[in-house]
Amino acid sequence: MSDYNSMELMICIAARSLEDGAMVVVGTGAPCAAAMLAQKTASPNLVIMFEAGGIAPILPTMPISVGDSRTFHKGLMAATMNEIMENCQRGIVDYCFLGGAQIDKYGNLNSTQVGTDHENPKVRFPGSGGANDLASLCWKTLVVTPQDNRRFVEDVDFVTTPGYLEGGNFREKAGLPIGSGPYRVITNIGVYGYHPETKEMMLLSLHPGCTIEDVKENTGFEMLIPEKYDVTEAPTAKELRVLREEVDPQKYIIGREAR
């Protein structure tokens, strides 16, 4: 029996993906918790940016929105969305965290609608916000999401945010920066990357207690599963202590399982 839940595991894995000195644009929720955890552990020089304009804050407690005053706390700049997007366009932002209602095998994200009829969708979502800009212009896109076959689909109903589009070099053909694109998908089952040539999603590591059958049953497309893959390293005692006592002591994020 593990002493952590799936949300805590996902946040710890995401935090390890952010090396010291990197620049990352985050939103609220699990991505913000991951950035805070990284900043308080292995990456004290991580530069955190928020879409509303906060640049390089030292986050005291969990902000509730990207415009929360805490996103400017002890920061380098209290800027605006224009400066954030300009930095992304200049090519100096390493990572962004995104999510959506659907993701396909090439990392395309849908946060617009369920159903392919744009005039009369089954469900309407908020849309892009800054997601399209961030995934188009930041070098690496990280997705933290629960995994099931409703989210992991063969074809997204609407491409809100470009991943590798149709795979291969389609992203570059569309005029997006060469070398940019989806990087990691972190779920409650495993960690996924992308095949270097086809750009299809592939298993990198399987979480303790999870199986290949769990991957297949919760994926609506054929996931690439290599002969050799890693087992995800469980959260350390230090990571869990900092996450629970300093990052999210009220358990707004870590108080629930990933579903």
Catalytic residue set:
51
What stretches of the chain show up as alpha helix (H) in DSSP? Answer: 6-16, 30-40, 81-89, 131-137, 170-173, 212-217, 237-242
Strands 77-78 and 54-55: antiparallel
Q: What are phi and psi of 196, to 5 degrees?
A: -65, -25
Q: Cα–Cα distance between 137 and 85 in angstroms, integer?
A: 8
Q: For residue 226, how many other CB atoms are within 10 A of its CB?
A: 9
Inter-residue contact 258 to 7 (CB < 8 Å): yes
Of 112, 132, 134, 110, the C-alpha closest to 124 is 112
Q: Cα–Cα distance between 156 and 171 in angstroms, integer?
A: 16
Please give the structure tokens belonging to residue 23: 């620049």
Under DSSP, the state recorded for 37 is H
Q: Cα–Cα distance between 248 and 62 in angstroms, integer?
A: 7
